[in-house]
Structure 1
């Protein structure tokens, strides 16, 4: 009588040569899953590699490769002359479940309180394609790709072993020096290069500032209406957010003092308020600084697109007026250059430099060195300032085209607000129209318009659209306004 092959039957191990994964890996995965789920019980003896290769119609080497990997990871125990047995004990395997079995619920939340707040504060996804009204999208069609490519290639050629190790947490020194020099002449910011931290985005600057300056329950002034990303950063840190109304002169400092005089921080976009586009007047800038000094609070100045001012020179930053060291200044290259660059910066008061640098190292290490070095060269060679000048001219033309098209196509249906600066215009809807309805319809046409109403935190809620103009050609803007008019 012929000798029968020893070991359990394995009818579920069908392999598929067209699956893409190597056959030995398929066999390894199926056996591993069967052991973890309990389909193969502890101490079960498997067929020999010769027998299993014949049953599966594969080479013996294929089976040997799978068995060797399972043995190395502790799933099998192999002994010469005794074959292979399942080594995973009963208590170590995963419980068997069926699709219809009720899921076990944790007695306590899986996420921390901070994690729960972060998951609730979901920002609207950024479109991955170019849409006509996307706010703050730079003119990618006019970007000096060739100059930038040369800057990156030049720095790549210069990379040596010393440049390929971990970078400085605060950023590449030549870039920090270039940023400090540019901010001093173009934005009136008073700082030394060591006060500049290179980050990946304004959102990272907000998150880092919230972590470092705010304890649970402390108050924050937030412009009303205001930037959702700032609200998300502060609320996720456990801060109590107080909406402070914005009028034609910007943030109502007097209202902020009446609502939360002992707040720990005020977040402002003074040079071009997001989303209304107004400018914080000088008396209110001084009042804000006086409040911060007397309350020992902080001012976080988000200067996201103030390089683009069309009737006058760009206004100086609040940080340049600060003599008490209470202002943190955030800026970004992602809205001037291109969004995927992921380079931004935060200028912190001298007293905070050491602590913020340590926190940067603990949370994210440092920004990629190659793009930092390329950006430093781009600025030192004068390309950055030249690009800014060119974009100011282009954006002024595109803004004028948008405003003219709105007057011609939707006169009365949409009333544009302040438009002296920036990369977007907020337009208010006529009575009876809801921005939710309009934006839902606009999304089907891939227009990229944003709603105004969700940017209000308090009871007041204006209906309007936030319309970017910088990222679309004049002809494209005219077509987009005509499409919007049909929706209205």
Structure 2
């Protein structure tokens, strides 16, 4: 017979509401299996007779017989005619309980490749599932026209039927590639055709593809300093050496790149709205960079992550549209202009890279889901995307002004804001005698998330401070959060 504690374990499985969806024999079978896996019932241990266990559990004998039959079929118990049922002699190989000769658990160092270890230690990219002030790069989703999106999605399902449930082409649905090409030609001054668009899940996937396809391990890539952390981590994970090029108020210092003592065949930058400073690369620097790439047979990776949101004057046309040599790879995303859950980004590629990049993409995730692609295509074609962007541009511009006023009123002793012409966050320099990390840690305990600037620099003298995102937060939410952040600063200064 079972010990009383073992019998109670089985009874608990029977009465636990979590298991109420399972038939009685499944509950009994899983309870006994768990006792075996936990090492409570060891190899050779006899099990109660079906009649006796049925009586103890107040169930029918057939129920216990069915449970035993399943355990026997799975190899957890042996059944001998005339002798009864016993825990299988193989059970010790299944038990979670450590035994004397068990293999010691591997450390991360022995378990992972060098590349895997570098990615693990780098920490990945923090993903905020529920945005709290002042997470940067998060759009306002409460104003998104869900009824319109839902209607368009129903149209897609009605028109395509079960075909919409099948795998899509790895390059992306043609309807969306056409819509994207038309949009960036009109709004960003690109020179795009549907045949040169590759639909992906995100701009991060695009950057990772470029890291794998354009350079070999150990090669160099020029990067802005400071720069988007997700890009640097993707390049370093691919084994590349990131060479920092300083940024000033006019964007990447292209002369420093051209005169660098080391060479590189790729440069990554965000020229329309530099991350994180907000600077816009000037026209003369863009033209110089294009000529450099042509002469060096190098590639320009142009990250145009949030250019839709420009608040002062007309946004500058993208580098790709000026590049007659076709050395520019243009990267865009809809996660900032629409909503993060849409999971659609894209690359506009030179002709020579379309097929290689598309084939490489098949080794990652195969394709993007057709239904959201087709829905987004209609959203763009019908003018809803443009209308939504214009609406959010007005909202974000208003929120930027509110946040600047709040900073000047409540945080003027602690930070200096660099007000951008566009984007979704403000670059704030820390000017008080408190460490960046101390402020970040203290603010997080109060429910405020700040993105530190130090980690974005590769140079030895980074600018201390943080980014304050404003797009996803109402004026009232920002007012409360800024006052709380001011309180955090006052408390920290009193402790100094």
Return the TM-score normalized by structure 2. 0.88
Q: Which residue of 1 aligns with 2:387?
A: 386
CA deviation string 1:182-230 (max 9, x = no partner): 0101011112112212222211111122122232111122211111111
Q: C-alpha separation between the residues in 2 aligned to 1:472 and 1:96?
A: 50
Judge conservation of contact 1:264–1:298 (CA < 8 Å) in 2: yes
SS at match of 1:426: strand
Q: Which residue of 2 aligns with 1:18?
A: 15
Q: Which residue of 2 aligns with 1:311?
A: 312
SS at match of 1:221: strand
Flag the 1:226–1:59 CA change in 2: closer, same or farther, 3 A: same
Q: Which residue of 1 aligns with 2:457?
A: 456
Offset of residue 376 of structure 1: 0.7
Q: C-alpha separation between the residues in 2 aligned to 1:281 and 1:107?
A: 46
Gapped regions of structure 1 (runs ≥ 5): 1-7
Q: Which residue of 2 aligns with 1:446?
A: 447
Q: C-alpha separation between the residues in 1 aligned to 2:43 and 2:442?
A: 59
Judge conservation of contact 2:427–2:468 (CA < 8 Å) in 1: yes
2:269 counterpart of 1:272:
no
Q: C-alpha separation between the residues in 1 aligned to 2:325 and 2:350?
A: 9
CA deviation string 1:73-105 (max 9, x = no partner): 233344666644444547854574179x99444
CA deviation string 1:281-302 (max 9, x = no partner): 2222222223322333222111
SS at match of 2:268: strand
Q: Which residue of 1 aligns with 2:481?
A: 480
User: Which piece of structure 1 moves more, 9-18 or 90-99?
Assistant: 90-99
User: Which piece of structure 1 moves more, 88-97 or 293-302?
Assistant: 88-97
Q: Which residue of 2 aligns with 1:323?
A: 324
SS at match of 2:110: coil
Q: Which residue of 2 aligns with 1:374?
A: 375
Q: C-alpha separation between the residues in 2 aligned to 1:427 and 1:104?
A: 45
Offset of residue 37 of structure 1: 6.2
Q: Which residue of 2 aligns with 1:361?
A: 362
Offset of residue 331 of structure 1: 0.9
Offset of residue 69 of structure 1: 2.0
Q: Which residue of 2 aligns with 1:3?
A: none
Q: C-alpha separation between the residues in 1 aligned to 2:103 and 2:71?
A: 31
Judge conservation of contact 1:13–1:27 (CA < 8 Å) in 2: no
Judge conservation of contact 1:303–1:329 (CA < 8 Å) in 2: yes
Offset of residue 486 of structure 1: 3.0
Return the TM-score normalized by structure 1. 0.90
2:282 counterpart of 1:281:
yes
SS at match of 1:330: strand
Measured on the aligned residues, the alpha-carbon RMSD in Å equals 2.7
2:254 counterpart of 1:253:
yes
User: Which piece of structure 1 moves more, 204-213 or 442-451?
Assistant: 442-451
Q: C-alpha separation between the residues in 1 aligned to 2:89 and 2:167?
A: 41
Offset of residue 41 of structure 1: 5.4
Flag the 1:336–1:78 CA change in 2: closer, same or farther, 3 A: same
Q: C-alpha separation between the residues in 2 aligned to 1:348 and 1:358?
A: 14
Q: Which residue of 2 aligns with 1:204?
A: 205
Q: C-alpha separation between the residues in 2 aligned to 1:165 and 1:42?
A: 48
User: Which piece of structure 1 moves more, 324-333 or 173-182?
Assistant: 324-333
Flag the 1:138–1:90 CA change in 2: closer, same or farther, 3 A: closer
SS at match of 1:211: helix
SS at match of 1:436: helix
Q: C-alpha separation between the residues in 1 aligned to 2:364 and 2:162?
A: 25
Q: Which residue of 1 aligns with 2:176?
A: 175
Flag the 1:430–1:74 CA change in 2: closer, same or farther, 3 A: same
Flag the 1:304–1:206 CA change in 2: closer, same or farther, 3 A: same
Offset of residue 318 of structure 1: 1.0
Offset of residue 27 of structure 1: 3.1
Q: C-alpha separation between the residues in 2 aligned to 1:328 and 1:416?
A: 32
Gapped regions of structure 2 (runs ≥ 5): 490-496
Flag the 1:40–1:479 CA change in 2: closer, same or farther, 3 A: closer
Q: C-alpha separation between the residues in 1 aligned to 2:158 and 2:7?
A: 51
1:69-468 mapped onto 2 (5 Å cutoff): 69-78=70-79, 83-89=84-90, 92-94=93-95, 96-97=97-98, 103-105=104-106, 109-123=110-124, 125-259=126-260, 261-468=262-469
